[in-house]
Amino acid sequence: MENDNCNHPKNSGFTIPTKVSRAAKSDSTIVNIGGVEFGGSAIVIIAGPCAVESREQLFETSRSVKDGGAHVIRGGAFKPRSSPYSFQGMGEEGLKLLREISNETGLPFVTEVMDTRQVEMVAEYADMIQIGSRNMQNFPLLKEAGMCSKPVLLKRGMMATIEEFLLAAEYILYHGNDQVILCERGIRTFETSTRNTLDLSAVPMLKSRTHLPVIVDPSHGTGLRWMVPSMAKAAVAVGADGLIIEVHNHPEEALCDGQQSLNIDEFFRLMTDLKKIAQAIDRNI
């Protein structure tokens, strides 16, 4: 019987797990979200508010990010909040709004699921389910996502090594779902001037180890609205397959993460800039 210590990252050598590794599958995996492909030469932009707050807020923002060139909508219905006194999300009502605006705009949407009991329900509404940073090592949730019929966006834990991140993805593939997108979203360090430290070296590191698509979240990675465009450009230059960006029609009124959300004008300008960077590396948005 095995006698391992694989919870012990510091002492274990960096070993690439079987199913997620390039060794197991050298071709890059293309993950298809309602017709939008991640992992090919095109760079995919996911945009929308942190949380679904109201029909008006979600619909106005979603229509705008579509006009700006986004390919996928994001929005949280179940919110993981450090404090029980913070806004916890609209729940299933939020999922219905997301489904409605997704149908109207023709853009697929991704939304977070936090509870094993809700995976099935969320997957009925969503085109892709997201597992957030705080749940990257919630193994029962990873297992449920592995048995789910929808693609999974897996965010790196804020203190997870690259190896642990790949092993978390391995849980999903192991349980049967190979439609997984990895997302670097900033790690926790001693530096306090940004919310997290966006580790862009994770992108080439992950792309060298795994065939799965890798995207970047510059909004949580910096926590600072004015810094999002710079880091988004760097993420494209470094080789990310996509970005997930928080956009809000009125950031100053947001119930969650307003200080890191772009407004509509900022998002439009950013898309123009990103296209130039993509072109410079022979890709397109």
Which of 71, 248 has the CB closer to a second copy?
248
Tell me how far, at minimum, the Cβ of 74 lies from a second copy, in Å.
16
Tell me how far, at minimum, the Cβ of 103 lies from a second copy, in Å.
28
Tell me how far, at minimum, the Cβ of 175 lies from a second copy, in Å.
8
Tell me how far, at minimum, the Cβ of 104 lies from a second copy, in Å.
26
The rounded distance, in Å, linking the Cα atoms of 235 and 200 is: 7
Amino acid at 150: K
Round to the nearest angstrom and report the end-to-end CA distance of the chain: 50
Tell me how far, at minimum, the Cβ of 105 lies from a second copy, in Å.
26
Which of 89, 108 has the CB closer to a second copy?
89
Dihedral of alpha carbons 279, 281, 282, 283, sign: negative
- Residue 39 has phi, psi (to 5 degrees) of 105, -5
Pairing outcome for strands 31-33 and 36-38? antiparallel
Tell me how far, at minimum, the Cβ of 27 lies from a second copy, in Å.
20
Which of 231, 247 has the CB closer to a second copy?
231
Q: What angle do CA 275, 279, 284 make, to 5 degrees?
A: 65
Cβ neighbours of residue 51 under 8 Å, at least 6 residues apart? 75, 76, 77, 79, 87, 89, 90, 94, 254, 255, 256, 257
Which of 1, 106 has the CB closer to a second copy?
1
CA 22 to chain centre: 21
* Tokens found for residue 219: 């909004």
Residue reference for tokens 């106005």: 60
Which of 10, 106 has the CB closer to a second copy?
10
Which of 37, 199 has the CB closer to a second copy?
199
